[in-house]
Amino acid sequence: MKIIFYITIAVCSLLCTYSCTTPLQAVATHPAYFNGKTVIVKGKVVNTLHLDDLSFFTIKGGQHKVNVVTNDFLPVVGDNVKVKGTVIAKFYYQRDTIAVVKEIVRPSKRETNQFNKSVN
């Protein structure tokens, strides 16, 4: 049964390299598999926090949540967002590994607004 799951994850990963999103459930339940890989996830913002130089927000898809660390503007709670970033699976709480996505923010030549993450 596990082999089928890992084959499914591998196929999803290959498909997602061509600009589709990685299922939030897969990243949240098996963060060690995605550790160091670039993913695109989307979900609804349920929490934001800004502490000095550290900003992060939590996105939720279904019953699964993933934290996103960013150096860009924070989205508004309730927004649906799509984020591209690298998974860091080195955060542990009790016996669980917490999935964290470090957002990849590239400076653009065009002017952007603070809502550049919103998905219609």
pLDDT (tens digit per residue) in 52-88: 777 889 999 888 888 888 888 889 999 999 888 888 8
Name which residue leads in pLDDT, 12 or 43.
Answer: 43
Name which residue leads in pLDDT, 60 or 117.
Answer: 60
Amino acid (1-letter code) at residue 40: I
What CATH number has the domain spanning 2-103? 2.40.50.140
Whose CA is closest to 21, among 46, 40, 49?
40
| pTM for the structure as a whole | 0.66
Q: What angle do CA 13, 86, 84 make, to 5 degrees?
A: 75
Is residue 7's pLDDT more than 80? no
Q: Where is 78: in which H helix or E strand?
A: none
